Structure 1
């Protein structure tokens, strides 16, 4: 008798899919019994869907029996997820891509791809499988399950041994018992918060949050539930935990002025993906899906994927729901071909040139990394490279105390989970607690290497997250992270997909086709805001794009516009070392050079009839000021002038903004001193108001808001970082990409919201250029270049004629 094949062909014309029904089992380790069936999406079948990370091939997972006649295997994460999903007494029907799509059939995979959005949208429930628990992960899960405030009585909890581990790590340094030392009490409060906050952040740093494909799955789901180990929690529970985390962060050492946290170590960046998904979910649920394809691809380009082509394919369902065009590169198309073809289709059919605003220089630039790749949040993981019961100093006049101190390079603190298992080490290492391992010599030691050294200075508990040189963070296939010492300093598992850009040979991309696989550490923020309906700028006026796509090469495309001007002088690029905006421009030489350049150059075309057009153009350029009724009020000049911080310098004085204490300084303070320092920081508000009175008394009563100054400060930072200020031959002031050069041409293209910088390529054909990137030029952001309000144009000629620019 011939055996029945595992997979029968699907009828894609009938919207047919496969569903997996899992038989119940009360024993978690019991064999998985399941069977496949066919269903049509048009019949609204009942099923749940799984959203998870595939992982990498590892040890052979256990077989899964299909109708008890077709054993087959899965990667270990899918196998673990199915075991957690199955019920104890009743069947459960799910859709999981690894089983329900025949992964060995390339044609079937291509035909099922367009159904992905509908599959997740019609599922009763989409379960996000984060992976198995780590030892302390239940603390973070408990917090995400909670609808009320957080309790920190984990050392008295009866919910498991993992709480005892956290208590021991705190107790080893005397933090729990020592209530007389004010500094130790502060550290106890901060580190106690870090225990739970660390586990919340570890959950938010799991690989599910970093993958391209899961975005569509989560956005369109009617109901979302997250699962970690055998515990589940609602999507909104993640948001509540994040809000509580931000509240605690604000009261446990963060320096916050003008509404901005000034300590980079205190920023909570893991919530960005959650907030984006939540915003898109709300829009999808309300049937108001007008999200730009470019917003999706640009915002999520920092995520990982095994195949870089998925940076296009992963959003097709969402794209086609908003725009009436389809991107269907062949199965054998290279990544460069997919990026090029999708760029041409978007330009041709979207009626917009916004794609050109996504261009970022990436060749030879360091790739961006996520904070979670180099930080250990879990107290258990941090304890591996610290002596948690060291003697530390808070300063020359402060008494010594117990605290956490970083071990010397190559040393590791090792817990004894089972003392009997350590018999292979030398006699005397079978005691309780821990021992210390020297990786450079391969020897174990009962005593900490810090014992015989002078007491080190105490550091703020937040800084304990930073991995020392030689330590790497890795995730296994079940979503669990761990840190370990690697003498080579290299992670064995593959890093983010965008870190492998060179290996997929994208150098052949033309300048106008964005490289979605290359987010760099020097990417400026987009000038466009795709989340708003009405644009901030309309440099192309009321025109629509005029394209010439009938070129002999697919790498070449023509677009009509006017040559407005050319860069005559350019200042140094500003690459701030911190993600935190500076309170003032004080001691930033690049920005001082910008001011000198802008104010020493002639400005031939006054933009608004003010008495000092150069200063007016400069401060509005630093804000990348919006056009029309969205423009900043004239009174905002004093806030920008305050940020310039030049009045005191002209009088030989320092900055009006007092020096803020860093985290290590706060770490040496007791409760009273810490309170005084925090109160002192608040005096920046009064310092700002006093300085503002000296600058412009008439506007001080309107602009005395610290919140407004913070908005100005953050806006300048976002507009100027990773850009360079330039002056054109015609005297216009602008901001361009950091890699702009003298001689780059300012071109206003029909249908473009911003001007663009083009670099002539005379050997590539008539009027050929490479696209340098988007640019801001004050005075032409509202359509002036194409509406006759031009004055004297580039080269001294009156008026500007349109021409076709060919981008290569």
Structure 2
């Protein structure tokens, strides 16, 4: 923060950039080094206006320090890299810069780097003197992390070459709200116009150099014909219930210290920061990621996390459990960790998967289409909702530069507005062109489960040991009726039910990615929504009523669920086999985890009796398994049948008896595990429901019997609405089998006004 620093006003297309005085021979000691800087006002044209054919300094956007190849032998238990790269033809740092000696700067005033970093971490220790740099001869206080970033940048080859830096905390007068709002509007241009976006994760700690080396190795491994070949050491485990069963257990050939270093790399505060979504999106695949003195390119980081994500249930689990053991080591695989209410920081979606999501957003920035698809929009919105912010208003203002948002939303940041006004205005903008899909993100409080303790509740000596899961299980058993955890937070911001709140956390459900077109045959025109006095009026049709609902988890506290008190015997699907097909397609929302295609016929394997009786050998599901679901919901009625009848048949007692006598665990293939994993994730925190007219579906946990299934023109999925004050209250989206692809038709004059409060 500035202390007695006088900013000169900005004019026109000016921005401020920071010139850092380079220190070529800086010593690597703990002593703080003086950082001498000066602020310059420069004219910055809109991104893309400069010539793309002429070569300038920094052509290729290469970061010279990336040419250093890390030693990867130390990563492995036997001290030898099995796929060591023997020869490297990359240029040295000096060669890269020498080749640019005769090139001009991109602008008359030079060129600049945009820094992406986190402000508040690490915090200054109690009693520690403030971190000061000198700007235009005046002492200027900065946070510890920014000080360390400036120290590292002052050593870098590009700063020595003469590149300047744009840093929000210094280059924007944070005390001037008008300037701050105006510069936030320009953030997209600033980061997109920068020569390069440099990502600073923070100073070296927790073996971060080892983590960078491991990621570099994984990136290189991704280019092999058979990635990760011979990577695992296969061991075995035994389950004695009720018969002796043996299934394989896998251990990687990397040291546990490597997995621990990777855990700390992925849990650095930078990855939770709100603003990085936009900042990384404006970068490119060559953007350098700096962590202390080590660095890796974004493209190599992306390749590395692809390897981890592809083998998440084994290698990903090793990374997570190197620090936070959650389950007994006897299990080979685990599913649904992303769905846990606690420890969200350690969910794969918030660790390695976030890099994949941000890369997709980054790639979409360069797409020339006039409007982004729903999938592109929801990626950015979900990241914004799940990130950490200092200022809640930045959940909207911090993503306005992302193309998927900018294509649809045209608002100016105004930090003087209330949070509820900002969220309402943002939703109105997203609805204004008639696309109502933003309503799919509505969420609410759905109930409670018993409080689950984490390793942080254990004494320090046993927190990270293999006995931790046993102790946690014992504690949960003893206290399960004492404390409760809400599933989905009720909104505290006095918003209409159609206005999406980005601050109150919803249940961590999996996104339904199917290419749904439920509204395809609802008239021919796209009626514009009307908003008056906080009420949203749109065109639609009520198609059904929910009459039965499952529990959303085996441990749901509300004993009323499953609720079949109003269950209907109607069935629009046909005989029992057609109803069974409707069931397996419903539990996967007729789509796949990573693709938007419809679920393949091979997913019908999900009806196998063994999955619903005891589960799959070696797979741990955190209470979301199909066998757990059956244990709680066996008497749920759907389309004239109980769930038990649909899976086991009318003579279900005989089927179960045969399974008890035989091998009642299913030893699955990899393809089958993928199907099961997606079914478990799709069902987590959702309710399976039956309807009055004989349909079945999968809906938000806040659903109740007598809620209506409604199709709105402009929304790709059905929505669950509840009658309220002569109109409706929006509960959330749902999958309803048999209506997702335009099967329901209605002429223009058959659509009715649907007013949502």
User: Which category describes the TM-score, using the shorter chain as reference length?
Assistant: 0.5 to 0.7
Offset, 1:615: 3.4
Q: Does 1:205 align with 2:272?
A: no
Q: Where does residue 358 of structure 1 map in the other structure?
A: 441
Which residue in the other structure is 2:753 paired with? Answer: 804
Q: Distance in 2 between matches of 1:366 and 1:203?
A: 31
**2:423 is aligned with 1:339:** yes
* Deviation readout 1:618-665 (Å, 9 max, x if unpaired): 3332232369x96556x558523215757xxxxxxx6485576999xx
1:368, 1:79 → 2: CA distance?
Answer: 41
CA distance, structure 2, for counterparts of residue 262 and residue 333 of structure 1: 34
- Equivalent-residue separation in structure 2 for 1:576 and 1:206 (angstroms): 32
Partner of 1:757: 720
In structure 2, the CA distance between the partners of 1:542 and 1:465, relative to structure 1 (3 Å rule), is farther
- Residues 775-797 of structure 1 show CA distances to partners (whole Å, capped at 9, x for unaligned) of 22222222233348xxxxxxxxx
**Residue among 173, 183, 190 paired with 1:119:** 190
Moved more, 46-55 or 316-325: 316-325
- 2:432 partner SS: helix
Report whether the alignment pairs 1:47 with 2:112.
yes
Shift of 1:500: 14
Q: Which residue does 1:35 correspond to in 2?
A: 38
Cα distance in 1 between the residues matched to 2:541 and 2:611:
38
Could you give the per-residue CA deviations for residues 346-385 of structure 1, whole angstroms, max 9, x where no partner exists? 1112x3111110011148879999x9x9689xxxxx9x93
Correspondent of 2:372 among 278, 290, 293: 290
Confirm whether residue 641 of structure 1 aligns to residue 607 of structure 2.
yes
Alignment of 1:580-619 (within 5 A): 601-604=568-571, 606-607=572-573, 613-619=578-584
Partner of 1:751, secondary structure, is: coil
Matched, 1:273 2:324: no
Matched-pair contact (CA < 8 Å) for 1:567–1:746: yes
Instruction: Write the distance in 1 (CA, Å) between the matches of 2:5 and 2:283.
Output: 32
Q: Which runs of 5+ in 2 are unaligned?
A: 51-105, 222-247, 319-328, 476-485, 623-654, 660-666
Aligned pairs for 1:21-420 (under 5 A) are 21-25=19-23, 26-27=25-26, 29-42=32-45, 45=107, 46-55=111-120, 58=124, 60-68=129-137, 70-87=138-155, 91-134=162-205, 136-146=207-217, 193-222=255-284, 223-239=286-302, 241-242=304-305, 249=315, 255-256=331-332, 268=348, 270-285=351-366, 287=368, 290=372, 292-319=376-403, 323-328=407-412, 330-349=414-433, 351-362=434-445, 385-386=460-461
Q: Report the 3-state secondary structure (helix = DSSP H, G, I; strand = E; otherwise coil) of the residue aligned with 2:357.
A: helix
Structure-2 residue corresponding to 1:494: none
* Cα distance change, pair 8–657 in 1 and its aligned pair in 2 (3 A): closer
Query: What is the TM-score when the length of structure 2 is the normalising length?
Result: 0.65
Q: Deviations over 1:249-290 (max 9, x none)?
A: 289768557999999999855201111112222333565683
Secondary structure of the residue aligned to 1:333 is coil
SS of residue in 2 equivalent to 1:775: strand
Instruction: Work out whether 1:734 is the aligned partner of 2:693.
Output: no
Query: Match of 2:40, SS?
Result: strand
Tell me, what secondary structure is at the counterpart of 1:301? helix
- TM-score computed with the length of structure 1 as normaliser: 0.62
Q: Shift in Å at residue 52 of structure 1?
A: 0.5
CA distance in 1, matches of 2:339, 2:394: 36
The answer on whether the counterparts of 1:771 and 1:807 sit within 8 Å (CA) in structure 2 is yes
Q: Distance in 2 between matches of 1:802 and 1:781?
A: 18
Contact 2:689 2:699 in 1 (8 A): yes
C-alpha spacing 1:22/1:805, structure 2 compared with 1 (3 Å): same
CA distance in 1, matches of 2:570, 2:621: 42
Q: Secondary structure of the equivalent of 1:21?
A: strand
Deviations 1:749-784 (A, max 9, x none): 12221111111113xxxx411001112222222223
Q: 1:40 to 1:571 in 2, by over 3 A?
A: same
Quick one: structure 1 residues 659 and 190, their matched pair in 2 at CA, closer, same or farther if it must change by over 3 Å?
closer
Task: Find the residue that maps to 2:165 and give its secondary structure.
Answer: strand
The structure with the largest alpha-carbon Rg is 1
Q: Is the alpha carbon distance of 1:464 and 1:747 closer, same or farther for their aligned partners in structure 2, counting shifts above 3 Å?
A: closer
Q: Would the aligned equivalents of 1:362 and 1:519 in 2 still touch at CA under 8 Å?
A: no
* 1:108-128 per-position Cα deviation (integer Å, ceiling 9, x unaligned): 111111211121112222221
